[in-house]
Structure 1
Amino acid sequence: MFKKNNLYLGILYGCVIPAIAWLVFSLLLKNSSFLDKPAAPYLIAIGLNLILLRFSAKAYLDKTSNGIMIATFACTLLVFVFKMHT
């Protein structure tokens, strides 16, 4: 999976897991009482993003790791702004 060392590819990798979490929990499980906390699925997705970051750092792909980190921090900020303050 990690073969190219590219910042934009890392940002793309970092946005995939939170986008899937948003699709699953916003569109499919909207009326479900699956979780009591509204931001929990997104925070789990951010945790999975950090595991993805670890694998790219272990493969010595510094630019890809930086892209994943940028996307993770951006998603964390978005979750905090939109879910915690509503």
Structure 2
Amino acid sequence: MFKKNNLYIGMLYGCVAPVLAWLIFAVLLKNDSIFLDKPAIPYLIAIGLNLVMLRFSAKAYLDKTSNGIMIATFVCTLLIFVFKMHIS
């Protein structure tokens, strides 16, 4: 999976898990979710998956890809925080 050392590919990898979490929990499950009491749990799981991807790319010495994943993780975390604080 991690073969190219590119910042933009790292950002793309970093956006995959949060987008999938949003699609699965917000669009597909809507009101049937177990996590209705804690709506940020799917996004926290996505951030955890991003950190696992970050670890694998760092072990492969792909510095630019690791930076891209880290940037995407921080941006997604900030967006989730801002939207959750704004909605509440």
TM-score (norm 1): 0.95
Report the AA paired with residue 26 of structure 2: S
Match of 2:46 in 1: 45
Report the AA paired with residue 17 of structure 2: I
Structure 2 Cα separation of the partners of residues 6 and 61 of structure 1: 8
Match of 1:14 in 2: 14
Structure 2 Cα separation of the partners of residues 63 and 33 of structure 1: 36
Alpha-carbon shift at residue 49 of structure 1 (Å): 0.4
Q: Which has the higher helix share?
A: 2
In structure 1, stretches of 5+ residues that fail to align are none
- Amino-acid identity (%): 80
Structure 2 Cα separation of the partners of residues 15 and 5 of structure 1: 17
RMSD over aligned Cα atoms: 0.9
TM-score (norm 2): 0.93
In structure 2, stretches of 5+ residues that fail to align are none
